[in-house]
Structure 1
Amino acid sequence: MKNDVRKLIADIVKILRENDEEYWADIFEKHSVELNYNYDECLYKLRGLYGGMGSFNDLVLHQSGMPLKDENNELDLLRKELYRLIK
């Protein structure tokens, strides 16, 4: 499961970086490294990114004020799959 989580995080970071969401990309990269030495704590922290105002669930990728349909659909699939693995 750890490799599946790591792969999903890498895919999430890729789409975030491609769409200039550096803040969230940095957070996920940090957690990707943390998986190596504190797996259970990292999963707990990852689950915490999904709740509350301004959470990862609220993120909408956009360009020039317009939502990016394909990119948001891809991100939503990755987001749901990651949550399914870590819950």
Structure 2
Amino acid sequence: MEVFPDAPALATRVAARLLERLAAVQATGRVPCIALTGGSIADELYRELVRLTPTSAVDWSRVDVWWGDERFVPAESSDRNARQATEALL
């Protein structure tokens, strides 16, 4: 088990591990799938993914992205988790 001093440190480690895993799956010729959710740590994680992606081997055009834990609210609602991810990543 790893213990992190704060949310930014956790987000950095999770983003790095996720990028490593996505690249490893792509290296086998497969298309990885991930589900994105919302929440306070998600903002930190998405920022770290943006920051670390240029130095990774991940081809985001070959990643299937799904929305997880989505709320049934209008598309323009600030309560939508997809909006949080879209603004940060896409």
TM over 0.5: no
Normalised by the size of structure 1, how large is the TM-score? 0.30
Normalised by the size of structure 2, how large is the TM-score? 0.29
More helix by share: 1
Larger-gyration structure (1/2): 2
